[in-house]
């Protein structure tokens, strides 16, 4: 039977000063200031010394909304949520050895991920064990939290370019990451934007998640890496609106492989970089037509306002959507800061950002 780790992050942060990016999940404490809380089946807590870790470069910051408590108070009172307890009960009923861990820093996430390491390699690289008897469930309140864990997996298992091994596929920069199971902590939301679990058709019921991790098979998915040191699971949407909700114009050069969607001289309303379909539409405008997280390509779209004249000589603005698919995309802002959402995490782009596809690099347990 398997050892199963149920991993929950200490807060919803996914940025410098938050889980997955070098700081602590709560209160901005460093990894050295906190220790992971690990509860085994017998209820006994285990603590490991946490070490500070390097902050991911180029990662955007987003603050958790105030709820009348300080971050430190929230950390002190955090307990496993009901779906986590229900999933643990379902796993225990099947004979699995279950451990629940709340991580509040990168170091604490890394301590969990180390259990997925494979045997030592002759070249000294750290790599995941393809026959591991340990399986990981990530309890997520947002796609940003899942991304935080995947980012740490990439940092653990991606070799430096100078140490690239001969057995690494030519279209990849990292080994196949170990499969993870996703336990959504919130109900599926309606509307046009669905979380990644809903898009992938993954189970949300804790007992079904337990069945997937024990009886399921890995479903391999594409991963977007970027030169800012982070990863994208769903997609990114660049652009902003004013206080009245009117879109603001901005300019950038957008390239997909050898295709130039815009050279930076014309105004843009939005740019969508899609691995999955979370940012396929903007209001009533279809940006991405068929984003597929398993096809080895990224789909990119830009929305350009174009002034046209009617037969009577009147001017009107028509929205032109240009699309392209490929292995890599770059966005070079021409002026100022460009706000964006990347897997639901807010940020501002001030310099060139490039994303590229790692085909089938990560996987989820599914039935």
Q: How do residues 271-313 score in pLDDT, each as one tens digit? A: 999 999 999 998 889 999 999 999 999 999 999 998 777 667 6
Residue 108 and residue 167: Cα distance in Å, rounded?
Answer: 30
Tell me, what's the pLDDT at 67?
A: 35
Tell me, what's the pLDDT at 48?
A: 36
Coil, strand or helix at 202: coil
> Is the pLDDT score of 74 beyond 70?
no
Give me the helices (H) in 94-247, please: 106-113, 143-157, 196-200, 206-215
Q: What number is the average pLDDT over the span 27-55?
A: 37
Residues in the chain: 367
Tell me, what's the pLDDT at 310?
A: 67
Burial (0-12, 13-18, 19+ Cβ within 10 Å), 295: middle
Give me the helices (H) in the chain, please: 71-77, 82-93, 106-113, 143-157, 196-200, 206-215
CB distance 149 to 17 below 8 Å: no
Assign a CATH topology to domain 235-358.
Answer: Tumour Suppressor Smad4 (2.60.200)
Q: What number is the average pLDDT over the span 352-364?
A: 98
Tell me, what's the pLDDT at 284?
A: 86
Q: What confidence tier does 262 reach under pLDDT thresholds 50, 70, 90?
A: very high
Tell me, what's the pLDDT at 103?
A: 96
CB distance 333 to 339 below 8 Å: no
Q: What number is the average pLDDT over the span 56-62?
A: 39
Q: What number is the average pLDDT over the span 135-158?
A: 96
Q: What confidence tier does 4 reach under pLDDT thresholds 50, 70, 90?
A: very high
> Is the pLDDT score of 123 beyond 60?
yes
Could you state, in order of their start, the residue ranges of all structural domains in the chain? 3-12+80-215, 235-358
> Is the pLDDT score of 223 beyond 60?
yes
CATH architecture of 3-12+80-215: 3-Layer(aba) Sandwich (3.40)
Q: What number is the average pLDDT over the span 333-358?
A: 95
Q: Which one is predicted more confidently, 19 or 92?
A: 92
Tell me, what's the pLDDT at 33?
A: 34
Q: Which one is predicted more confidently, 36 or 109?
A: 109
Residue 61 and residue 352: Cα distance in Å, rounded?
Answer: 18
Tell me, what's the pLDDT at 194?
A: 84
Torsion angle, CA of 355/173/11/80, rounded to 10 degrees?
Answer: 140
> Is the pLDDT score of 317 beyond 80?
no
Q: What number is the average pLDDT over the span 191-199?
A: 80
């Amino acid at each position: 039977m398997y050892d199963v780790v149920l991993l929950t992050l200490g807060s919803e942060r996914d940025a410098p000063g938050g889980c997955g990016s070098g700081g602590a999940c709560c209160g901005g404490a460093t990894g050295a200031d906190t220790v992971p809380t690990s509860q085994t089946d017998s209820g006994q807590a285990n603590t490991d010394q946490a070490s500070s870790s390097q902050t991911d470069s180029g990662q955007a910051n987003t603050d958790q909304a105030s709820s009348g408590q300080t971050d430190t108070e929230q950390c002190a009172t955090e307990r496993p949520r009901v779906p986590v307890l229900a999933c643990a009960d379902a796993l225990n009923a099947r004979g699995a050895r279950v451990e629940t861990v709340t991580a509040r820093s990168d170091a604490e996430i890394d301590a969990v991920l180390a259990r997925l390491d494979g045997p030592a390699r002759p070249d000294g690289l750290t790599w995941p064990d393809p026959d591991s008897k340990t399986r990981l469930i990530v309890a997520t309140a947002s796609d940003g939290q899942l991304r935080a864990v995947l980012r740490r997996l990439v940092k653990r298992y991606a070799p430096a370019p100078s140490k690239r091994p001969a057995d690494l596929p030519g279209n990849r920069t990292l080994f196949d990451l170990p499969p993870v199971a996703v336990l959504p902590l919130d109900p599926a939301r309606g509307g046009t934007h669905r979380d990644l679990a809903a898009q992938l058709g993954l189970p949300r019921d804790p007992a079904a998640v337990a069945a997937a991790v024990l009886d399921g098979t890995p479903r391999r998915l594409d991963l977007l890496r970027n030169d800012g040191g982070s990863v994208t699971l769903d997609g990114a949407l660049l652009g902003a609106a004013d206080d009245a909700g009117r879109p603001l114009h901005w300019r950038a050069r957008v390239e997909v492989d050898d295709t130039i969607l815009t050279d930076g001289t014309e105004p843009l309303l939005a740019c969508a970089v899609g691995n999955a379909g979370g940012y396929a539409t903007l209001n009533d405008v279809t940006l991405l037509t068929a984003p597929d997280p398993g096809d080895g390509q990224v789909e990119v779209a830009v929305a350009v306002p174009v002034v046209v004249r009617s037969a009577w000589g009147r001017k009107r603005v028509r929205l032109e959507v240009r699309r392209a698919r490929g292995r890599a995309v770059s966005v070079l802002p021409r002026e100022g800061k460009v706000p964006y959402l990347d897997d639901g995490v807010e940020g501002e782009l001030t310099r060139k950002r490039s994303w590229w596809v790692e085909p089938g690099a990560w996987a989820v347990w599914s039935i």
